Amino acid sequence: MTPLRQRMIEDLQVRNLAPATQKNYIHYVYEFARHFHQSPDLLGPEHVRQFQLHLLQDRKLSAESVNQYVSAVKFLYRITLGRDWGDQHFPRVRVPHHLPVVLSHEELIQFFDHVPSLKYRAALMTCYAAGLRVSEAVRLQVSDIDSQRMMIRVQQSKGQKDRYVMLSPRLLELLRVWWRAARPKQWLFSGWRTGRHLCANSLQTACREARLRCGIPKKITVHTLRHSFATHLLESGTDIRIIQVLLGHSRINTTARYTQVSQKTICATPSPLEALDRQPPSPPKGKARAKA
């Protein structure tokens, strides 16, 4: 390991960035250096720009992935190397705005009916019932299920924050069925390796296979269940700030996007066409057509 790599790892650890973020930052800086076959401390802003174009044009990476690379090299040069480079040296790619996909109640019933495995059905229903991210669901421990207070504790989620979400009575019943069948000890949803929790990719694969079986044309991922949770709460009249807390959002603007897909919010807003006079349309002005 080079001294520069070790220094960057230490800088990441000192700032207590999430383990996944640390891993990704180190990976992108490594890819950056390997692309030019030089140490990053010998490269300049033009190399940063060239590699960004390489990721976009040659490797066809998404805007989110390219921006993560930008954040990684920005951390390297500003923090670890102490370079006095401005933001103009680290341009970010504009990320397209997409509205979340939301399933109706009927589609959710159809989807869950096509998840054959009890473990995966329980995990996916937990994502919908509590609005969990896939990483949060697979890392749930048995002790996180508080049946006395009817709450689920989500530990060290995004932003390294804990939060509580509701425990649905129907979900509790299903989790008890799963517990009696599998007798999990530490992790609620254990993986195939002893002492490890279920892999997030495995749950995504189970979700994708269930979508293919049920025939719903919408793109369904585990995160779609979280979007559906938030939208259905909003449509049932739940205050948006409560939804913000349940989802673990830091900013209300992130939660507010669900108003853009809420059927009740959109359909309850009358079109201005309704305010127009309901008189029958008048004939067009001008000369009358000559009779044949």
CA 215/CA 160 separation, integer angstroms:
37
Active-site choice (121, 139, 197, 226): 226
Answer yes or no: is pLDDT of 64 > 60.
Answer: yes
Going from N- to C-terminal start, the domains of the chain cover 3-89, 105-267
Active-site choice (5, 47, 153, 158): 158
Could you tell me the pTM of the whole model?
0.76
pLDDT digits (tens, 9 = 90+) for 161-180: 899 999 999 999 999 999 99
Other C-beta atoms closer than 10 Å to the C-beta of 67 total 18
Mean pLDDT of the chain: 89
133 annotated active-site: yes
249 annotated active-site: yes
Report the pLDDT value the prediction gives residue 292, as an integer from 0 to 100.
43
CA 140/CA 125 separation, integer angstroms:
13
What superfamily would CATH give domain 3-89? Tyrosine recombinase, N-terminal domain (1.10.150.130)
Tokens 């341009």, located at residue = 91
Q: Are 209 and 124 in contact (CB under 8 A)?
A: no
pLDDT digits (tens, 9 = 90+) for 66-91: 999 999 999 999 999 999 999 999 99
pLDDT digits (tens, 9 = 90+) for 226-278: 999 999 998 888 898 999 999 998 888 888 888 777 777 667 667 676 667 66
Active-site choice (74, 119, 121, 133): 133
120 annotated active-site: no
Answer yes or no: is pLDDT of 145 > 90.
Answer: yes
Answer yes or no: is pLDDT of 193 > 90.
Answer: no
5 annotated active-site: no
128 annotated active-site: no
CATH architecture for the domain at 105-267: Orthogonal Bundle (1.10)
Determine the average pLDDT of the residues in 136-142: 95
For residue 99, what pLDDT band results from cuts at 50, 70 and 90? confident
Determine the average pLDDT of the residues in 25-41: 94
Report the pLDDT value the prediction gives residue 90, as an integer from 0 to 100.
92
258 annotated active-site: yes
Q: What is the 3-state secondary structure (H, E, C) of the chain?
A: CCHHHHHHHHHHHHCCCCHHHHHHHHHHHHHHHHHHCCCHHHCCHHHHHHHHHHHHHHCCCCHHHHHHHHHHHHHHHHHHCCCCCCHHHCCCCCCCCCCCCCCCHHHHHHHHHCCCCHHHHHHHHHHHHHCCCHHHHHCCEHHHEECCCCEEEECCCCCCCCEEEECCHHHHHHHHHHHHHHCCCCECCECCCCCCECCHHHHHHHHHHHHHHHCCCCCCCHHHHHHHHHHHHHHCCCCHHHHHHHHCCCCHHHHHHHHHCCHHHHHCCCCHHHHCCCCCCCCCCCCCCCCC
